[in-house]
Amino acid sequence: MKRKLVIIGAGMASGRVIEHLVETAPDAYDITLFNAEPRGNYNRIMLSPVLSGEQTYADIVTHDDDWYAAQGITCRFGEHVVRIDRAEKLVIGQNGPVPYDKLIVATGSAPFIIPVQGKDLPGVITYRDLDDTNAMIEAAGNGGKAVVIGGGLLGLEAAAGLAQRGMEVTVLHLMGHLMERQLDPAAGYLLRRDLEKRGIAIRTQASTAAILGDTRVEGVLLEDKTMLEADLVVMAVGIRPETRLANDAGLEVGRGIVVDAQMRTTGDPDIHAVGECTEYDGHLFGLVAPLYEQARVLARALLGEAEDFVVRDVATKLKVTGCNLFSAGDFAEAPGREDIVFRDPARGIYKRLVIEGTRLVGAVMYGDTADGNWFFQLIKDATPIDEMRETLIFGPSFQGGSSADPLSAVAALPRDAEICGCNGICKGTIIDAIEAGARDLGTLRARTKASASCGTCTGLVEQLLQVSLGEDFQAPAAQPVCGCCDLTHDDLRRLIKSRALKSQEAVWQELGWRTRNGCHVCRPAVNFYLLADWPQEYRDDPQSRFVNERRHANIQKDGTFSVVPRMWGGITNPAELRAIADAADKYNVPTVKVTGGQRIDLLGVKGEDLPHIWADLNKAGLVSGHAYSKGLRTVKTCVGTDHCRFGTQDSTGLGIRLEQILWGSWTPHKVKLGVSGCPRNCAEATCKDVGIICVDSGYQVGVAGAAGMDVKETERLADATTEQEAIELTVAFVQLYRENARYLDRPYKWVARVGLEWVRARVVDDMEERARLIAAFELSQSIYRKDPWAEQAKEAQRFQPLADLTLEAAE
Partner 1 sequence: MNWIDIGALEDIPLRGARRIKTALGCVAVFRTGADEIFAASDSCPHRGGPLSEGIVHGQSVTCPLHNWVFDLNTGQAQGEDGRLDIFPVRIERGRVLIEGARLTARSAA
Q: Which is nearer to partner 1, 225 or 520 (CB)?
A: 520
Phi/psi for 344 (5° steps) reads -135, 85
Among 115, 304, 322, 335, binds partner 1 (CB under 8 A): 335
CB of 525 to partner 1, least distance (A): 12
Q: Is 134 in the site for partner 1 (CB under 8 A)?
A: no
Applying the rule CB under 8 A, the residues between 148 and 187 that interact with partner 1 are: 185
Helix (H, G, I), strand (E, B) or coil at 16: helix
Query: Which residues in 207-314 belong to E strands, given as ranges?
Result: 208-212, 219-222, 227-229, 232-235, 239-241, 257-258, 264-265, 268-273, 278-279
- In whole angstroms, how close is the CB of 801 to partner 1 at the nearest point? 5
Interatomic CA distance for residues 478 and 772, integer angstroms: 31
Dist CA 804 CA 695 (whole Å): 61
Q: Tell how strand 201-203 and strand 168-172 pair up.
A: parallel
Number of shown-chain residues binding partner 1 (CB under 8 A): 35
Regarding 555 and contact with partner 1 (CB under 8 A), the answer is yes
Nearest to 263 by CA among 301, 313, 290, 312: 301
Q: Is 679 a binder of partner 1 (CB under 8 A)?
A: no
Close Cβ partners of 626 (under 8 Å, ≥ 6 residues apart) = 552, 566, 632, 633, 663, 664
Query: In this complex, which beta carbon is closest to partner 1, that of residue 181 or of residue 415?
Result: 181
> With respect to partner 1, which residue has the nearer C-beta, 113 or 603?
603
**Binding residue for partner 1 (CB under 8 A) from 550, 712, 716, 786?**
550
Q: Is 544 an interacting residue with respect to partner 1 (CB under 8 A)?
A: yes
User: Smallest gap, in angstroms, from Cβ of residue 515 to partner 1?
Assistant: 6
CA atoms within a 13 Å half-sphere pointing along the CA-CB vector of 463: 18
Nearest-angstrom CA–CA distance, 461 and 193: 27
Name which of 205 and 697 has its Cβ closer to partner 1. 205
For residue 795, state whether it binds partner 1 (rule: CB under 8 A). no
Of 206-214, 328-336, 371-379, 579-587, which segment contacts partner 1 by CB under 8 A? 328-336
**478 phi, psi to nearest 5 deg:** -60, 125
338 lines the binding site for partner 1 (CB under 8 A): no
The single residue among 559, 585, 696, 767 that binds partner 1, judged by CB under 8 A, is 559
Of 707, 667, 664, nearest to 685 by C-alpha is 707
Element (H, E) at 460: helix 458-469
89-97, 395-403, 544-552, 724-732 -> range binding partner 1 (CB under 8 A): 544-552
Under the criterion CB under 8 A, does residue 543 sit at the interface with partner 1?
yes
Cβ proximity to partner 1, 241 vs 611, nearer residue: 611
Count Cβ neighbours within 10 Å for each residue of 755-771 and write b for 16 or more, e otherwise.
eeeebbebbbeeeeebe
**807 bridge partner residues:** none
Cβ proximity to partner 1, 89 vs 545, nearer residue? 545
Q: Is residue 761 within 8 Å of 646, Cβ to Cβ?
A: no
Question: Closest CB to partner 1 among 358 and 800?
Answer: 800
Give SS3 for 65. Answer: helix
Q: Per CB under 8 A, which of residues 607..646 are in contact with partner 1?
A: 607
CA pair distance 577, 575, nearest whole angstrom? 5
With contact defined as beta carbons under 8 Å apart, do 189 and 505 qualify?
yes
Q: Which stretch binds partner 1 (CB under 8 A): 320-328, 440-448, 547-555, 642-650?
A: 547-555
Taking residues 182 to 221 in sequence order and writing x for each that binds partner 1 by CB under 8 A, - otherwise, the string is: ---x------------------------------------
Name which of 594 and 805 has its Cβ closer to partner 1: 805
The CB density around residue 571, as the number of other CB atoms within 10 Å, is 16
Which of 600, 27, 583 has its CA nearest to residue 303?
27
Site membership for partner 1, residue 547 (CB under 8 A)? yes
Closest Cα partner for 654 from 618, 700, 622? 700
Residue 808 found at the interface with partner 1 (CB under 8 A):
yes
CB of 479 to partner 1, least distance (A): 17
Q: Give the nearer residue to partner 1 in terms of CB position, either 129 or 510.
A: 510
Q: How far apart are CB 335 and partner 1 at their closest, in Å?
A: 5
Kindly tell me which of 477 and 805 has the beta carbon lying closer to partner 1. Answer: 805
Sign of CA dihedral 371, 374, 376, 378: negative
User: Rule CB under 8 A: is residue 61 a binding residue for partner 1?
Assistant: no
Near partner 1 by CB under 8 A: residue from 131, 281, 333, 405: 333
CB of 437 to partner 1, least distance (A): 41
Give CA–CA dist 715/754, Å, rounded.
14
Q: Is 402 a binder of partner 1 (CB under 8 A)?
A: no
Stretch that binds partner 1, among 64-72, 240-248, 762-770, 799-807 (CB under 8 A): 799-807
Per CB under 8 A, does 803 bind partner 1? yes
**Interface with partner 1 includes 343 (CB under 8 A)?**
no
Q: Which residues within the stretch 510-539 sit at the binding site for partner 1 (CB under 8 A)? A: 515-520, 523-524
Least Å from the CB of residue 804 to partner 1:
4
Cβ proximity to partner 1: between 319 and 516 the closer is 516
Measured distance CA(249)–CA(405) in Å, rounded: 63
Q: What's the CA gap between 735 and 733, in Å, rounded?
A: 5
Instruction: Choose the binding region for partner 1 from 114-122, 236-244, 722-730, 794-802 (rule: CB under 8 A).
Output: 794-802
Q: How far is CA 494 from CA 482, 631, 776, in A?
A: 17, 22, 17
Integer Cα distance of 758 and 737 in angstroms = 12
Cα separation, 312 vs 309, in Å, equals 9
Closest separation in Å from C-beta 314 to partner 1 = 23
Query: Closest CB to partner 1 among 40 and 524?
Result: 524
Alpha carbon distance 450, 149 (integer Å): 43
Q: Which residues bind partner 1 (CB under 8 A)?
A: 185, 333, 335-336, 515-520, 523-524, 542-547, 550-551, 555, 557-559, 607, 798, 801-806, 808-810
